[in-house]
A and B are shown apart, each in its own frame.
Chain A
Amino acid sequence: MSLIAIVKRECETCQLLAPVLAMLAGRRPLVVYSQDDPGFPPGLPGVRDDRSLETSWRHGVEIVPALLELDGGAVVARSEGWNRAEWATLTGIADLGDGLPAARPGCASRTLDPGMPERLALRYGGLAFRSRRIEVAEEADPLEIAYDRGWSDGLPVVPPTPLRVARMLAGTDREPDEVIGPIPPNLVRCTVEKAAVNAVMAGCRPEYFPVVLATIEAALRPEFSMHGLLATLWFSGPVIIVNGPVARRIGMNSGGNALGQGNRANSTIGRALQLVVRNVGGGIPGEVDRSVLGNPGKHTFCFAEDESDPRWTPLNVARGQPPGSSSVTLFHGDGVQAVGAQASRTPEALCRSLALALWAVGHPKLVRFSNAILVISPDHWAIFKSAGWGREEVERGLREALRRPADALLADAGGVAEGVDRARAGTMVDKFHEGGLLVVRAGGRGGLLSAIIGGWSAQRNPAEVRAVTHPIRT
């Protein structure tokens, strides 16, 4: 049995206890460790220097002063802060600290300084990574090394140092070696740790990491067909829509320029998924990725839905998630088509106007081919809302406006070879599959403008290729 005390000069309670420690050291074998100044406490010989915080970390000290009883190196009893009764129990001496209050709180141990827990865990073996380490020579630039090794999507990546990855892993409760799933095309098993390495490179903060993990899980659901989306000649990539409280907590943008640049969470969460597919899965343009043209969204395409109006049912709730829960919805989408529907003033007229633009998705003469996301801006929403419309009415209005007679759309009609099977002449056809049009609200005020994100041609096989909505957990 031995007694140790851990203090820091910066702590007033520790200063108050300096005479107590001196007296204690005279009556019991006591070793005192100082976290910031080996000359503190004054007048006490043999104070050990724990500025490296190794001892403090190994004994799990969170508050100083800490008085610990050790047996064979393990802590069997402790008192944190000053508490005469507890110190009496630990030391067997009843009237310690004559003139001091019975108790007084301590201060935070330096092991809890910002950024310190991960640094100490790395240094003293609390955290062991399984990923290979790539050493960067002193004269080399880690950014260039990352480019040379093919880790980049074209833009610079944040060098994934062990400390940065340790901090990213602190953003989740999940264990680093937990397997999320096999990433196409190489079907390499992606662990939480590998996801963290790529999330660091993408520029994510640790608090975005649960969203990144949910995004990867969603992409791996069989009905999402991530391999097909990667390999296709078509231009699509994963488009991520975030719903729920998490969006506001991590500062996502659902307002002005929500589909564009300028917001760290929007930009980096989408990028993390793309980097995982590239680096863990080995999915690279010119190799398995055969997209004829791609689209800028394949760098990143992620935004939050505008949930500020309770009249509008959020996308994830409409798709079956519990109200108030946080989810990601993944769609296979291309770029953004702006719709200048600036003259329509009634909800029915606006639906017809937006539907006309939606007919262009995939090809104006093709039905049940590509699906789409319609992003309704605040000013367009105001037109729907003032007529008492909510999601149900908007979706019904669009569905009706997206139904047409097949005849003008038949293959070869109008001198255009593409089109609907001639066997459907005389019938009415719907542009999209049942549930193929996802409607969300986002954007800034000031423009009677909404946006269409066109979908992937493989969505013509709805049994095999579907958008997915997936819960976000910590």
Chain B
Amino acid sequence: MRNEPYEMLDPTGELSPVIRTRTPPPEGLDGMVVGLLCIAKERSEEFLDTLETGLAALGISVRRLRKPTHTKPAPADVIQDAAEHCDVVVEGLAD
């Protein structure tokens, strides 16, 4: 446990807020590849199958990904696969 908070002084021109905003979501999914990442919980695959069917019906490309266990973050090769091939990623399903 630290006794005092660890602080750094801001080196920037301070033109943007300290609390950074998230990257905004895209305006639409046309022309994009949507990654569906299964987190290996019960019924995750079935849920993502349903999503895939719905997206395909809208003409949106899907890439299925899976991580070996929900108890740990996705391994590097899964993340890199997503970074290389996908524009957005949906992960599911937490029960």
Contacts and interface: CB of A to CB of B under 8 A. Distances in A.
Contacts of A201: 11
B67 to A, nearest CB: 22
Contacts of A281: 13
Contacts of B14: 131-132, 188
Contact of B8 (A146, A186, A194, A282): A146
Contacts of B7: 133-136, 161-162
A183 B15 CA distance: 13
Given A138-B1, A138-B2, A149-B20, A133 B11 contact: no
A197 B9 contact: yes
B10 A132 contact: yes
Nearest to A194: B11
Interface string A143-187: 001100101000000011110010000000000000000010010
Interface residues of B, number: 15
A353 B12 CA distance: 47
Interface in A351-370: none
B5 interface: yes
A275 B11 CA distance: 9
Contacts of B11: 131, 151, 160, 194, 197-198, 201, 275, 279-280
Given A149-B20, A188-B15, A135 B9 contact: no
Contact of B6 (A136, A146, A165, A275): A136
A159 B8 contact: yes
A132 B15 contact: no
B2 A134 contact: no
Nearest to A195: B11
A294 interface: no
A445 B13 CA distance: 44
B18 interface: yes
B8 A133 contact: yes
A173 B26 CA distance: 51
Interface in B1-40: 1-2, 5-15, 18, 20
A134 B11 CA distance: 10
A280 B8 contact: no
Interface string A266-290: 0000000001000111100000000
Contacts of A136: 5-8
Contacts of A198: 11
**Dominant secondary structure of chain B at its interface with chain A:** loop
A281 B15 CA distance: 10
Contacts of A134: 7-10, 18
Contacts of B9: 129, 131-134, 160-162, 165, 193, 197
Contacts of B15: 186, 188, 282
A277 to B, nearest CB: 11
B3 to A, nearest CB: 11
Contacts of B10: 131-134, 197
A142 interface: yes
A186 B12 CA distance: 11
A280 B6 contact: no
A162 to B, nearest CB: 6
A183 B13 CA distance: 9
A21 B5 CA distance: 40
Interface string B44-78: 00000000000000000000000000000000000
B6 A142 contact: yes
Nearest to A166: B9
Given A142-B8, A146-B8, A162-B7, A188 B13 contact: yes
B21 to A, nearest CB: 13
Contacts of A142: 6, 8
A282 B13 contact: yes
Interface string A200-234: 01000000000000000000000000000000000
B73 to A, nearest CB: 14
Nearest to A189: B13
Contact of B12 (A159, A162, A279): A279
Nearest to A280: B13
Contacts of A197: 9-11
A161 B5 CA distance: 11
B53 to A, nearest CB: 37
28 contacts: A129-B9, A131-B10, A131-B11, A131-B14, A132-B9, A132-B14, A132-B18, A133-B8, A133-B10, A134-B9, A136-B6, A136-B8, A138-B1, A138-B2, A142-B8, A160-B8, A161-B6, A161-B8, A162-B9, A183-B13, A188-B13, A193-B9, A197-B10, A201-B11, A279-B11, A282-B12, A282-B13, A282-B15
Given A131-B14, A161-B9, 6 more contacts: A133-B8, A134-B7, A134-B10, A135-B6, A159-B8, A280-B12
Nearest 3 A/B pairs, CB to CB = A188-B13, A132-B10, A131-B9
